[in-house]
Chains A and B, each alone.
Chain A
Amino acid sequence: MKKPNENIDYYFAIARQAPIVVSIDQVKDMLAKGAIGLHVKPVKTSINSKYIIMSSIAVVTTAAVVISINLSDKEKNSTRNSTILPVQTKVAPVTKKPLQTNKNVSYPLTNTKTLSVDNNKNMNITPIVNDIKEDNVFQQAGVIIEKKDSVKKLNYCCKQNKLQNSKLQYDQIDIFGIYKDIWARVRNDNKYGFIDTSGREVVPVVYDRIDLFNLYKNDFALVKQDGKYGFIDITGKEVVVPMYDKIELYGMYHENWALVKNDGYYGFIDEIGKEVVKTIYNKIYLFGMYRSNWAMVKSDKRFGFIDISGKEVVTPTYDKINFFDEYHSDWALVERDKLLGFIDVNGKEVVVPQYDEIDFYGMIKDGWARVKKDGQYMFIDNIGKEVEQ
């Protein structure tokens, strides 16, 4: 044997001699267990059995019920113990506004429950109540109930800014700082938005879902509206209108782009949210599989390429594209309507698909490849031109 590092066969020989890490008995054992629904892994065993999953769900549900009962008990106790203070402010009757039916006007929110506050009085606390019901606003208004920090905070900011009307318009206000330091997520009628510390609605409450910032990309948060996805940026601006069925992570396919899907077709958006590759392709493969800056695309069962700037360098007209350099350096074999040809690394069709068969270059004569056309064999030269014999 040659000295190590002088021949790659040395490395292959070592790899061939390495012991087998999974024995055939382990496989037999695994299959035997697999037949009864057990999925066996060497280190930890996870069980796929339907019954066991059902029972686990039952256990989890029971635990959740017990916890929620305990919590609600705790809540009741805390409410019972809370001090009832005399009303210090004048509370005007609740003005009911009719529900707006125009869907386009979603902000400001309808059905606003307003507590008018007499500004001349020195107010310590503006009573704000969670889960307020229109019927019992009067009752609740005079009672101070333990509130979430966020509501207290909102209350505090409102007071600081001398807001005369404290609007009780949200079903839920999250704690400040989860999404952004000065923002808190708010919910109303199962729609989400953001308010800032001054109580101003910086992102309208129109989204079904808002993900955390920076998950997909720095300063972007994924939002979902009517089943479609988009992005808002850190200033609250909608940078990508929710119109996509799916958005992949940035950097997965392209360094600065994210793959998007719309009505079953794929495309790319760039880092400012602009659609750089239109959603017209049935499939987009990874960049670098065929050429370093190219990605294969499929449209109507035909293949082509786009480059790293999003330009279509090879129009999807081919049924099949082989790897480059297999037959000829810098060329790739292509097939269209069962006829073979070549494209080069610039995307140019150097040999129009017209041959039934093409052999490798150099198999019979250097620089020539044997081709078959209309049942007859002939040769093409190095630049793809038919050689006259």
Chain B
Amino acid sequence: MKTKKQIEFMNLYEPVHNSFVRFCAAKSYGVLETEDLVNETIMNAFANFEKLKERKAFLSYLFSIASNIIYNTVRKKKIIQYTHEYNFQIEDKTYLTDESRSDIELLYKALAKLPDAQKEALILFEISGFSIQEISEIQKAGISSVKQRLKRGREKLSEILGCPRMSSENVLKRSTVLMNIFFL
């Protein structure tokens, strides 16, 4: 039987489930298994759910727990610059084609080389599909900071992946379009 706490938790969690799992997949690459990170985070979040006073802060609460788990695992495992040195393979459970899997691995490896804030912003925006406003809440940073992180992150990522350099206007344009969608 579901408790009131479970129902309340699921009401907040269910809408962001897909985005959250995608975030975990990208963030956990080379550190621990995605499923472990998802489970660990949810169990922690659920166990301390009463402490979350403002339901608005749920996103920030959930993603901070996931980031902390990653940070602690890296610390414990003494992995500092790890992912590009090892060849981690995405599990077969994802039913991806070989080509897609290798492309995603390339992306995850490249993301691992970015500074944490930029990497997180990019994953949240490009892979999980959160808005800049939501990312600024998750990262507890200003909207302009998030935009800068996205811009610089994309530039660095293009360099690492060997894609033609993105013009900064492109990102700003995208951000403006998204801002209009979300706030106007």
Interface residues of A (CB under 8 A from B): 4-8, 10-12, 14-22, 24, 27-28, 30-32, 34-35, 39-42, 249, 251-252, 286, 288-289, 322-323, 325-327, 359-360, 363
Further contacts, 6 of them, CB under 8 A, given A39-B43, A323-B117, A360-B148: A7-B164, A10-B103, A11-B106, A14-B104, A22-B21, A359-B144
Q: Which residues of A contact B35 (CB under 8 A)?
A: 21-22, 41-42
Q: Give the complex CA separation of A20 and B95 in angstroms.
A: 10
Q: Give the complex CA separation of A31 and B75 in angstroms.
A: 28
Q: Give the complex CA separation of A326 and B142 in angstroms.
A: 12
B112 within 8 A of A: no
State the main secondary structure of chain B at its contact with A.
helix
B130 within 8 A of A: no
Q: Which residues of B contact A5 (CB under 8 A)?
A: 161-163
Q: Which residues of B contact A6 (CB under 8 A)?
A: 163-164
Pair count A-B, CB < 8 A:
119
Measured CB to CB, the closest approach of chain A to B62, in angstroms, equals 12
Report, nearest first, the 9 A-B pairs whose CB atoms are least far apart. A11-B107, A12-B126, A42-B35, A22-B38, A15-B127, A20-B21, A8-B163, A24-B17, A14-B103
State the main secondary structure of chain A at its contact with B.
loop
B152 within 8 A of A: yes
Measured CB to CB, the closest approach of chain A to B128, in angstroms, equals 9
Interface residues of B (CB under 8 A from A): 2-3, 5-6, 9-10, 13-14, 17-18, 21-22, 25-26, 34-36, 38-39, 42-43, 46-47, 75, 78, 80, 91, 93-96, 100, 103-104, 106-108, 115-117, 126-127, 129, 144-145, 148-149, 152, 154, 157-158, 161-164, 166
Query: CB-nearest residue of chain A relative to B99?
Result: A4
Quick check: B22 and A27 within 8 Å, CB to CB? no
If A21-B25, A360-B148 touch, whether A14 touches B100 (CB-CB below 8 Å) is yes
Quick check: A27 and B17 within 8 Å, CB to CB? yes
Q: Which residues of A contact B94 (CB under 8 A)?
A: 18-19, 21
Q: Give the complex CA separation of A179 and B137 in angstroms.
A: 53
Q: Which residues of B contact A16 (CB under 8 A)?
A: 22, 126-127, 129
Q: Which residues of A contact B34 (CB under 8 A)?
A: 21-22
Quick check: A21 and B46 within 8 Å, CB to CB? no
Query: CB-nearest residue of chain A relative to B14?
Result: A24
Query: CB-nearest residue of chain B relative to A359?
Result: B144
Q: Give the complex CA separation of A123 and B91 in angstroms.
A: 69
Q: Which residues of B contact A327 (CB under 8 A)?
A: 148
Quick check: B161 and A11 within 8 Å, CB to CB? yes
Q: Which residues of B contact A40 (CB under 8 A)?
A: 39
Quick check: B39 and A30 within 8 Å, CB to CB? yes
If A8-B161, A360-B144 touch, whether A15 touches B21 (CB-CB below 8 Å) is no
Quick check: B145 and A326 within 8 Å, CB to CB? yes
Quick check: A41 and B36 within 8 Å, CB to CB? yes
Measured CB to CB, the closest approach of chain B to A331, in angstroms, equals 13
Quick check: B163 and A32 within 8 Å, CB to CB? no
Quick check: A288 and B80 within 8 Å, CB to CB? yes
Quick check: B163 and A18 within 8 Å, CB to CB? no
Of the candidates B91, B152, B166, the one whose C-beta lies within 8 Å of that of A21 is B91
